[in-house]
């Protein structure tokens, strides 16, 4: 099975005082470095967000979602577009990790083994110790993921089991269409990107999803300074006025 990977690292870090999560440190390595290291099984890897030049090479590239800070769904779309730009044969599956899980490494081989053992599944998502599904700690089959993103980008509701995500999408699209029409007539603003601010459920509700129990602690994430302290994560010093590392 050929696997590519996406690391989503473009958040604002608002609950960390504006410090980018990617630059937080564990044992002298940034969370971005640790996450890239956890994905050694991937053929190609795209960081969606800022990345230091020393991490980029023939295998690892970086891109940004549009609009910036538009949420995980546009970030996934941007990452897949960057993979397509390589003009290599499509991967069978795509590993998707958020950058804020400092101890995620043991989860990756579990996801790979689970998807290989579940041929009917479109995706395998981690289930944390609180029984919460983690769609940003997951392995997706590439073809269904691309198909769902294309449906969402086209504004299609032709998807089974979309539930609340489908209704929210219809309402959102109707509102956006109305606003776009008014903006176009008034010459104010262009229509927003169709993937902007969509929840990840808009993707997973349209797929056959299985879950696996994540290794203890592997999906624990850093959202606040208290989380950082509990997970052994340190915030690097920054110069005045520079909070983005």
pLDDT at 39 over 90: yes
- Please state which of the ranges 104-108, 182-186, 188-192, 230-234 shows the lowest mean pLDDT: 182-186
pLDDT at 6 over 80: yes
SS3 195: coil
- Report the pLDDT averaged over residues 120-146: 97
Is 239 inside a domain boundary?
no
Is 58 inside a domain boundary?
yes
Is 242 inside a domain boundary?
no
Higher pLDDT, 23 or 66: 23
Q: Is the peptide bond before 193 cis (omega within 30 degrees of 0)?
A: no
- Please state which of the ranges 103-117, 121-135, 157-171 shows the lowest mean pLDDT: 157-171
Is 137 inside a domain boundary?
yes
Is 238 inside a domain boundary?
no
Q: What is the pLDDT of residue 182?
A: 42
- Report the pLDDT averaged over residues 27-35: 95
Higher pLDDT, 194 or 143: 143
pLDDT at 111 over 70: yes
Is 107 inside a domain boundary?
yes
pLDDT band at 235 (very low <50, low <70, confident <90, very high): confident
Rounded distance, CA 2 to CA 106, Å?
19
Is 60 inside a domain boundary?
yes
- Yes or no: say if 99 and 49 are a contact pair by the CB < 8 Å rule: yes
pTM: 0.82
Q: What is the pLDDT of residue 13?
A: 65
Is 209 inside a domain boundary?
yes
pLDDT band at 224 (very low <50, low <70, confident <90, very high): confident
Rounded distance, CA 89 to CA 209, Å?
25
Domain that holds residue 72: 3-230
Rounded distance, CA 169 to CA 202, Å?
8
Mean per-residue pLDDT of the chain: 84
Q: What is the pLDDT of residue 236?
A: 82
Number of structural domains the chain divides into: 1
The CATH number given to whatever domain includes residue 219 is 3.90.550.10
């Amino acid at each position: 099975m050929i696997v590519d990977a996406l690391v989503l690292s473009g958040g604002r870090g608002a609950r960390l005082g504006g410090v980018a999560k990617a630059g937080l440190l564990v044992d002298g390595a940034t969370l971005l470095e640790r996450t890239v290291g956890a994905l050694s099984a991937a053929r190609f890897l795209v960081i969606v967000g800022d990345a230091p030049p020393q991490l980029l090479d023939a295998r690892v590239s970086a891109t940004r979602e549009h609009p910036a800070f538009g949420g995980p769904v546009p970030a996934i779309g941007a990452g897949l577009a960057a993979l397509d730009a390589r003009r290599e044969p499509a991967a069978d599956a795509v590993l998707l990790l958020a950058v804020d899980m400092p101890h995620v490494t043991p989860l990756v081989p579990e996801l790979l083994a689970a998807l290989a053992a579940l041929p009917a599944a479109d995706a395998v998502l981690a289930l944390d110790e609180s029984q919460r599904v983690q769609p940003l700690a997951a392995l997706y089959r590439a073809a269904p993921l691309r198909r769902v993103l294309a449906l969402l980008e086209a504004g299609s509701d032709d998807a089974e089991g979309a539930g609340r995500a489908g209704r929210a999408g219809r309402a959102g699209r109707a509102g956006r269409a109305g606003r776009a029409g008014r903006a176009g007539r008034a010459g104010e603003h262009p229509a927003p990107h169709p993937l902007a601010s969509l929840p990840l459920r808009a993707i997973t509700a349209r797929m056959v999803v299985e879950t696996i129990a994540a290794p203890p602690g592997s999906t624990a994430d850093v959202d606040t300074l208290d989380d950082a302290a509990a997970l052994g994560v340190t915030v690097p010093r920054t110069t005045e006025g520079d909070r983005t590392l």
